[in-house]
């Protein structure tokens, strides 16, 4: 009984830090197959996997879809992001942020308003450039780059999808966590290092307990918690580097999607450097963990103080 209480206490403390303070926005966006925001209706976020989104009313922040379609005739307060989706912006559509289409199609009727940037990667054109120009053949034959770089490019493509969705759904929490990296870099590193040590100890304990079955649920829960922190921390790092570079060139208010994508490119290039790149990215991941924990997933300016969030907000 005493051992179980100790395990429960350690695990509970870790989960309180890891998952107990997920952004309130996570509870306010809709995840369904098909979503319709009727005229006169308002929602915070809308997200679908393979479904169809119709916005006749107002979405206060972002609309994102993987597959399916997005049709907007109303207002979107931040970004519209489609990955392999058909995006249709009617003549009455107003998008106050960016429109990002990765694959799929983008149709804009005359009269629609996009106040941010439009980023459109046509799937067919990308495939043609990759295959017909011999880029993919060079990678497969290993005559151009080693296997490590191929693996890194695959991970970069996965992070691209995660970055687009994360920046669209959680722009303010990601910006606040990135701001904590800027304000308290070494404090974030210290907290992140302690968190990694504690996480590793809990994983080892769960593996040992899995020999008698009771540790399997603990092990799976720890993996889930670690994955959530890892992804959120990496997005905060992307934002930090992208926003910092844009600020260096005189841009003081940057969109979350633009900053995250630029940061993804920077961190990805660093990761391609043999050995030193892996060490640098590992070091940055520790810092990111610390920033996420200190800000409780971007819901507080500093943890454990319950101070209000810092006014670091990406531009609409």
Reduce the secondary structure of the chain to three states and give it as a string: CHHHHHHHHHHHHHHHHHCCCCCHHHHCEEEECCEEECCCCEECEEEEECCEEEECCEECCCEEEECCEEEECCEECCCEEEECCEEEECCCCEECCCEEEECCEEEECCCCEECCCEEEECHHHHHHHHHHCCHHHHHHHCCCCCHHHHHHHHHHHHHHHHHHHHHHHCHHHHHHHHHHHHHCHHHHHHHHHHHHHHHHHHHHHHHHHHCCCCHHHHHHHHHHHHHHHHHHHHHHHHHHHHHHHHHHCCCCCCCHHHHHHHHHHHHHHHHCCCCHHHHHHHHHHHHHHHHHHHCCCCCCCCCCCCCCCCCCCCCC
pTM of the complete model beyond 0.85:
no
Residue with tokens 């701001």: 179
Residue 6 predicted with pLDDT over 50 = no
Average pLDDT over residues 137-156: 53
Token pair listed for 130: 């990759």
Confidence of residue 209 (pLDDT cuts 50, 70, 90): confident
How many CA atoms lie within 13 Å of 60's alpha carbon, on the beta-carbon side? 10
Q: Please tell me which of 21-35, 85-99, 129-143, 247-261 the model is most confident about, judged by mean pLDDT.
A: 85-99
Average pLDDT over residues 91-115: 88
Average pLDDT over residues 84-88: 88
Question: Out of 11-25, 117-131, 196-210, which region has the weakest mean confidence (pLDDT)?
Answer: 11-25
Residue 22 predicted with pLDDT over 70 = no
The candidate with the shortest Cα–Cα distance to 39, out of 93, 78, 98, 80, is 93
Question: Given phi > 0 = left and psi -120 to 50 = alpha, else beta, which region is 103?
Answer: left
Q: How far apart are CA 235 and CA 193, in angstroms?
A: 18
- For residue 32, the model assigns a pLDDT of 52
- Beta carbons within 8 Å of 302's beta carbon, 6+ residues apart: 180, 184, 294, 295
Residue 25 predicted with pLDDT over 90 = no
- Averaged pLDDT score across all residues of the chain: 76
- For residue 46, the model assigns a pLDDT of 86
Token pair listed for 113: 């308003």
- For residue 142, the model assigns a pLDDT of 41
Residue 89: how many other CB atoms lie within 10 Å? 25
Q: How far apart are CA 25 and CA 64, in angstroms?
A: 14
Predicted confidence (pLDDT) per residue in 47-85, tens digit: 888 889 999 999 988 888 888 899 999 999 888 888 888
Residue 110 predicted with pLDDT over 80 = yes
């Amino acid at each position: 009984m005493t051992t179980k209480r100790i395990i429960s206490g350690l695990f509970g403390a870790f989960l309180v830090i890891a998952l107990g303070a997920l952004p309130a926005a996570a509870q306010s966006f809709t995840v369904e197959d098909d979503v319709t925001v009727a005229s006169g209706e308002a929602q915070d976020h809308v997200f679908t996997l393979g479904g169809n989104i119709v916005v006749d009313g107002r979405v206060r922040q972002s609309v994102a879809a993987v597959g399916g379609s997005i049709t907007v005739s109303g207002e979107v307060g931040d970004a519209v992001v489609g990955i392999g989706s058909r995006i249709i912006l009617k003549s009455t559509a107003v998008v106050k942020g960016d429109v990002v289409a990765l694959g799929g199609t983008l149709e804009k009727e005359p009269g629609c308003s996009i106040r941010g940037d439009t980023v459109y990667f046509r799937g067919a054109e990308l495939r043609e450039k990759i295959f017909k120009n011999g880029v993919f053949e060079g990678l497969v034959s290993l005559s151009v780059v080693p296997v490590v770089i191929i693996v890194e490019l695959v991970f970069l493509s996965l992070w691209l999808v995660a970055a687009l969705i994360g920046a669209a759904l959680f722009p303010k929490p990601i910006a606040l966590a990135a701001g904590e990296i800027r304000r308290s870099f070494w404090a974030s590193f210290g907290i992140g290092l302690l968190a990694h040590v504690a996480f590793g100890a809990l994983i080892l304990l769960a593996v040992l307990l899995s020999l008698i079955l009771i540790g399997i649920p603990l092990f799976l829960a720890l993996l889930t918690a670690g994955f959530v922190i890892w992804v959120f921390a990496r997005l905060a790092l992307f934002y930090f580097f992208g926003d910092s570079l844009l600020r260096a060139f005189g841009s003081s208010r940057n969109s979350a999607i633009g900053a995250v994508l630029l940061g993804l490119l920077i961190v990805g290039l660093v990761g391609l450097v043999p050995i030193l790149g892996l060490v640098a990215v590992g070091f940055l991941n520790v810092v990111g963990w610390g920033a996420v924990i200190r800000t409780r997933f971007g819901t507080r300016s500093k943890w454990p103080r319950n101070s209000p969030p810092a006014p670091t907000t990406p531009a609409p």
